[in-house]
Chain A
């Protein structure tokens, strides 16, 4: 059947299997070259395999919860949205969350996702205590920082290429409310934005929206948004009745694929300007509920359809701290010249990270969408080139465009090590995605 990632590009004809038990899973793993698929929120072809795409969403049970430590043990197909629905009312929130709650725990571990708190709490792997992974022989191995360490370290961020993650033990974070105290700062340009980030390293959450069509002195003008979990005591009285607001299940959804021209550069310009001027007005501090703060896009179900049938690609890179200013300016110049930037340009400071194959490194990460076309593909390649020039790397969970050579230029040592590990333990013969084949991982 035809499958794709969240970007609806590329579309690949895949064989899909939907195992319901460990035995059915093992049977399918040992008979065909496979890749696990969670909730399909990776943008490109990370969770697609022509020969065997394994839908993990039937493994969706929570297995235990320890209220003294906040440790949840759950199967990999459990969605983060379900974890929040079950535990936020009891005062627990994910320690690390991506910008959508419709991801599976397996997908979060495999991509070692990051949130707006990476500079303080690191990536998702930091809150994982152990994993159960089914290897190429269909056997399940428990791995952790102390037990079968290499399997643990490479599976986190390993994009499903070490095996199928079955169970995860993760720690949640205690919170007093489901509200975030947000302060919004206006940055006139990229330098100002970076200065703001560097001054705000003690803020729990930080992220910036960049108007990526601005030029000259205003290049990279942005809104930098800082956030803290609100305590009960500080909450305005009107919220005391609802310390843990639930999702008002908005059924706002995009009913069909909009034609690509709806997203021409004028609408993008208008959208960007709106965001910019909105944030400039009024009191910089506000209380925002968890859902609109962390998952603003989730309330528009299937928003990926606004890009039309051709689909879209997201480019996300990270540049090391010392080259970030110059590298990012070069990228923003290229983007604004092209006039093809999306309204979703996001900038974020990463803290240090020591891991085998995960995306983050200390520095700055930039992410933005492009409707698929020859020109945007060329631009994405160009941005990839700049990333390599400045010693950065790209995020596999977002990629659908790069080639094997450019990934090796960015990440030669890690790619080589991963390749030899996968050869050595037999994973290379059993686990591959359309992406790993494209990138020759």
Chain B
């Protein structure tokens, strides 16, 4: 693999930063894009000192669709790999009652990420190379009472990624969908997660690097999740609707 740039969207996320470390360690220049990006100054210096690669910072709000093309134009180079880690879990209970808040969650998890990846997809297609990595969620595999606002947006994102993959497969551009299961990050801080099903951000990063290199389509970080999801998909809706999971 050549040492092309790696763009990380939503770079303040723990998973995103772990991905930045993994690619920097392999000698790739890193482009960190996030809101309030100046807060990543320490991360930039840390990456530069450890791995002696160039790291650039870019202001990026996934909800500000109009600026998406400019964000990509403003990068020092068109990246070889782009990883989108943007996501907002929201609060299902209160978002059920507040439709504007719910819409915001859907935008941040689906519309926004889809839009920025669309800009990149077109540029990658033109160039005839590149890898797009979207971090979606197992929550999108079936609607559940406890998180269907986040989940449905992730479902949309997952479908969008598979559509992009289908479109770009013959254009030399590869698309990876990551369904990480539970990950020990800021998003899940304080939740009591089952250790066997919970990955560390560094494991997600390693899985992403591997999947990108081997042109995998969909990756689950903890293999157990693939089985769980198969089982969940098999439950008939008549039964599923009465379950608490």
User: Does A293 sit at the interface, judged by CB under 8 A?
Assistant: no
Cα–Cα distance between A63 and B50 once the two chains are bound (Å)? 10
Cα–Cα distance between A65 and B47 once the two chains are bound (Å)? 12
- Are A63 and B51 interface neighbours, CB within 8 A? no
Cα–Cα distance between A39 and B3 once the two chains are bound (Å)? 33
- Name which residue of chain A comes closest to B45, CB basis: A63
B50's partner among A18, A20, A86 (CB-CB below 8 A) is A86
Interface of B is mostly: helix
Q: Identify the interface centre among A18, A61, A63: most chain B CB within 10 Å of its CB.
A: A61
User: Does B43 sit at the interface, judged by CB under 8 A?
Assistant: yes
CB contact list, A1-42 vs B, under 8 A: 18, 20
Type the 1/0 row for B38-60, where 1 means its CB is closer than 8 Å to any CB of A.
00001101100111000000000
For B186, the chain A residues whose CB sits under 8 A away are: 20
User: Does A288 sit at the interface, judged by CB under 8 A?
Assistant: no
Cα–Cα distance between A63 and B48 once the two chains are bound (Å)? 10
Cα–Cα distance between A389 and B43 once the two chains are bound (Å)? 52
For A85, the chain B residues whose CB sits under 8 A away are: 50
Cα–Cα distance between A159 and B176 once the two chains are bound (Å)? 47
Q: How far is the CB of A24 from chain B (nearest CB, A)?
A: 11
User: Does A137 sit at the interface, judged by CB under 8 A?
Assistant: no
For B46, the chain A residues whose CB sits under 8 A away are: 60-63
Cα–Cα distance between A18 and B51 once the two chains are bound (Å)? 26
For A61, the chain B residues whose CB sits under 8 A away are: 42-43, 45-46
Q: How far is the CB of B16 from chain A (nearest CB, A)?
A: 15
User: Does A82 sit at the interface, judged by CB under 8 A?
Assistant: yes
- Name which residue of chain B comes closest to A78, CB basis: B46
- Are A62 and B45 interface neighbours, CB within 8 A? yes
For A64, the chain B residues whose CB sits under 8 A away are: 45, 49
Q: How far is the CB of A13 from chain B (nearest CB, A)?
A: 16
CB contact list, B179-201 vs A, under 8 A: 186, 189
Q: How far is the CB of B55 from chain A (nearest CB, A)?
A: 13
For A20, the chain B residues whose CB sits under 8 A away are: 186
Cα–Cα distance between A64 and B45 once the two chains are bound (Å)? 7
Report the contact-size class of chain A (Cβ under 8 Å from the partner): 10 to 19
- Are B42 and A86 interface neighbours, CB within 8 A? no
- Name which residue of chain A comes closest to B43, CB basis: A61
Q: How far is the CB of B178 from chain A (nearest CB, A)?
A: 23
For B43, the chain A residues whose CB sits under 8 A away are: 61
- Are A86 and B45 interface neighbours, CB within 8 A? no
Cα–Cα distance between A65 and B45 once the two chains are bound (Å)? 10
- Name which residue of chain B comes closest to A82, CB basis: B50
- Name which residue of chain A comes closest to B50, CB basis: A86
Cα–Cα distance between A85 and B50 once the two chains are bound (Å)? 8
For A86, the chain B residues whose CB sits under 8 A away are: 49-51
Cα–Cα distance between A65 and B49 once the two chains are bound (Å)? 7
- Name which residue of chain A comes closest to B48, CB basis: A62
- Name which residue of chain A comes closest to B49, CB basis: A62
Cα–Cα distance between A61 and B43 once the two chains are bound (Å)? 7
Q: How far is the CB of B245 from chain A (nearest CB, A)?
A: 26
Q: How far is the CB of A74 from chain B (nearest CB, A)?
A: 9
Cα–Cα distance between A329 and B152 once the two chains are bound (Å)? 72
Q: How far is the CB of A75 from chain B (nearest CB, A)?
A: 9
CB contact list, A405-436 vs B, under 8 A: none
- Name which residue of chain A comes closest to B39, CB basis: A21
Q: Identify the interface centre among A60, A85, A86: most chain B CB within 10 Å of its CB.
A: A86
For A63, the chain B residues whose CB sits under 8 A away are: 42, 45-46, 49
- Name which residue of chain A comes closest to B46, CB basis: A61
Cα–Cα distance between A62 and B45 once the two chains are bound (Å)? 7
Cα–Cα distance between A18 and B190 once the two chains are bound (Å)? 10
Q: How far is the CB of A166 from chain B (nearest CB, A)?
A: 12
Q: How far is the CB of B200 from chain A (nearest CB, A)?
A: 12
Q: How far is the CB of A78 from chain B (nearest CB, A)?
A: 9
For B50, the chain A residues whose CB sits under 8 A away are: 62, 82, 85-86
Cα–Cα distance between A82 and B47 once the two chains are bound (Å)? 12
Cα–Cα distance between A62 and B52 once the two chains are bound (Å)? 12
Type the 1/0 row for A72-101, where 1 means its CB is closer than 8 Å to any CB of B.
000000000010011000000000000000
For B189, the chain A residues whose CB sits under 8 A away are: 18
Q: How far is the CB of A169 from chain B (nearest CB, A)?
A: 13
List A residues at the B interface (Cβ < 8 Å): 18, 20, 60-65, 82, 85-86
Provide 18 A-B residue pairs closer than 8 Å at the C-beta atoms, listed in order of the A residue.
A20-B186, A60-B46, A61-B42, A61-B43, A61-B46, A62-B46, A62-B49, A62-B50, A63-B42, A63-B45, A63-B49, A64-B45, A64-B49, A82-B50, A85-B50, A86-B49, A86-B50, A86-B51
List B residues at the A interface (Cβ < 8 Å): 42-43, 45-46, 49-51, 186, 189
